[in-house]
Chains A and B, each alone.
Chain A
Amino acid sequence: MFKPLDPLLHSELRLATISLLISVEEAEFPYIKEQTGATAGNLSVQIDKLSAAGYIEVEKTFKGRRPCTICRITSAGLRAFEDYVEALRSYLEVKS
């Protein structure tokens, strides 16, 4: 039986963002933008969606005089990611 895939994570950009945040404590917005190759506007929208779902925590601060956005994965985000990987595994097991 297939496990349902979390629709919030089943998107290239949101999945890449969560995956980048999984092994770090926090990452700045420019880093995520650079690694995903997304536009600032699109990434900002996707980050807002993840943040609204409680999957990530967004902190807006300043680094010197420059505004700085820092993203961190939350425990809910970590759980959702684990469930997503588990669901993916059930799909792959059926295929093989």
Chain B
Amino acid sequence: MEENNNLTAERSLEIIRKSIEQSRRDMVKNAGSPLIAWGILVALTAWLVGLLVKHTGTPFWYFLWFPMMFLGFGINHYINKRFHVRPRSIIGDIVGYVWLSFGIISMAIPLVMYTAKHWAWHYFSQQYAPDEILKMPIIHFPVTTVIVIMLGLCTTITGFVLKDNWIKAGGIMAAIGGAVLATIYGQQNMQVISFVAVVGLLVPGIIMNLKYRKA
């Protein structure tokens, strides 16, 4: 593009229209890639954890979620770096902050609950006799259910921000999957998480990328 000062009104409007359309397209181009990466990662981890817990009988394998989260943040960082020339927009920022909040909270909740559970067990076992502890009211906090419902919520918000009905539907289905999770225990629990990761992350991510690449 040269420095041409003899523009007609039509040519000026054409430049404005093209430029605005282009920047709007680029703002959301590849915006679905982090969702795809997280969807694959969560679905595979849930499947792997379910399989290992079933075959070994030890809940130790649930700790695999922590390295998975660090791996996910690493992949996210790589994706952001790779598409660094994408312009920054309020839409991209909102979607980014929604998922960053989800990442922080979904990592903090299991850590805090696990620490609190062990601290409480240690404290009460020193203060009370075992039969007294067994009589105490115990509140079960469904960590996985809460995280999966949050995931559905974040996907639905993303759908509203990007004005995409498929993503909104995926988010609502994922949140319902979270509610179903509250009634399921054991290995099927991990199968529901795999399903939610596919419906709430992978599919919306693919839809977003296809939609904005075509645009």
Contacts and interface: CB of A to CB of B under 8 A. Distances in A.
Interface of A: 7, 10-16, 19-28, 30-31, 34-38, 42, 46, 63, 84-85, 88, 91-92, 95
Contacts of B7: 10-12, 15
Contacts, number: 95
Interface in B1-56: 1-5, 7, 9-13, 15-16, 18-20, 22-24, 26-27
A25 B90 contact: yes
A35 B23 contact: yes
Contacts of B86: 31
Given A11-B7, A12-B1, A19 B26 contact: no
Nearest to A95: B9
B20 A23 contact: yes
B16 A23 contact: no
A13 B27 contact: no
B13 A24 contact: no
A88 B4 CA distance: 17
B87 interface: yes
15 contacts: A10-B5, A11-B4, A11-B7, A15-B12, A16-B1, A19-B15, A22-B20, A24-B87, A24-B89, A26-B87, A31-B26, A31-B86, A36-B1, A46-B3, A88-B12
B1 A37 contact: yes
Contacts of A30: 85
B88 A12 contact: no
A24 B9 contact: no
B132 interface: no
Interface of B: 1-5, 7, 9-13, 15-16, 18-20, 22-24, 26-27, 84-90, 93
Given A46-B3, A91-B9, A27 B93 contact: no
Contacts of B13: 88, 92
A13 B2 contact: yes
A88 B9 CA distance: 6
B171 to A, nearest CB: 25
A92 B14 CA distance: 13
B9 A92 contact: yes
Nearest to A22: B20
Nearest to A66: B84
A11 B89 contact: no
Given A11-B4, A19-B16, A26 B88 contact: yes
Q: Which of B12, B23, B24 has the most CB of A within 10 A?
A: B12
A28 B89 CA distance: 12
Nearest to B12: A88
Nearest to B27: A24
